Structure 1
Amino acid sequence: MFLTRLVYHSLADFMSGSGSVSDEMGRILSAGLRNNPPEGLTGVLAVDGDRFLQVLEGSRQAVSTTFRRIARDAAHRGLQIVFCGEVDQRCFSDWSVAVLREDSLPAPEAREVDYDHITADGLVERARRIRETGLIARRETLNADRA
């Protein structure tokens, strides 16, 4: 299996749904925890204000199928792929969804990010920091043989 990583950001369009932001996040969380682990997908979906940051890692087929489903979801607008390619190892060995808690970022950490100019490494690091400070849900680490 080729281990593939896809990194993207998009505008979170919560107004398209009939529920509140927390209802929409619950829907997205449920779908991710239901769909991604059986496909061997790992990564993180981070919510940074009005923006989604996502890192998906897994087989080329699983990443591609999942991203096509995401692209059709009305909760996302203006999807921008920052990186998609083969990698040697996972950055995230589990699956989680996180929401930024502004008060938990270290003082020198940028609260506003220029998403038009962020690099893939910068986006992965931003998602990692958000996950560390705003974890909502996480699943157990995949077995090493599924890497």
Structure 2
Amino acid sequence: MKDKVGIIIGLIVTILVLLTLVIWMMNLATLTFSEIGSFAIIIILVTTASYVIWDRAKNIRKGFPAKDERLINISYKAGYYGFIAAIWSAVFGQVIIDILFDYELEGSRVAALVVIVSGIVFIATYLYMAVKGKNV
């Protein structure tokens, strides 16, 4: 029952995020390059979260637990790598953007960079380790 509640909450959050994204897109007069990039990143994150929800729902339908021990360990490892990426993106993101584009990021942009980088690293390592199997 606990697993089903988690899946239902995940579906509700996914639908709300997509609805918010659609409302945001419809209220924009013109799309800039940064907004298109933001939309792309949000779509990638939502798609990957939907895959994880689908995989857990598939396990429940087959009578297995939503998360087995291997997926729990993979989640911990991917979370660790995402955390490390968040720290280093906060430290070096500002410097690299300043060197490459001669532009100093505002605090809110640095926070967005940290969230995006840690999310992408978490997703990439989670999917890699889930596909690679137990030898990770």
Q: Report the TM-score, using the length of structure 1 for normalisation.
A: 0.32
Larger radius of gyration: 2
Higher strand share goes to which structure? 1
Higher helix share: 2
- State the TM-score, normalized to the length of structure 2: 0.33
Structure having greater relative contact order (Cα 8 Å, sep ≥ 6): 1
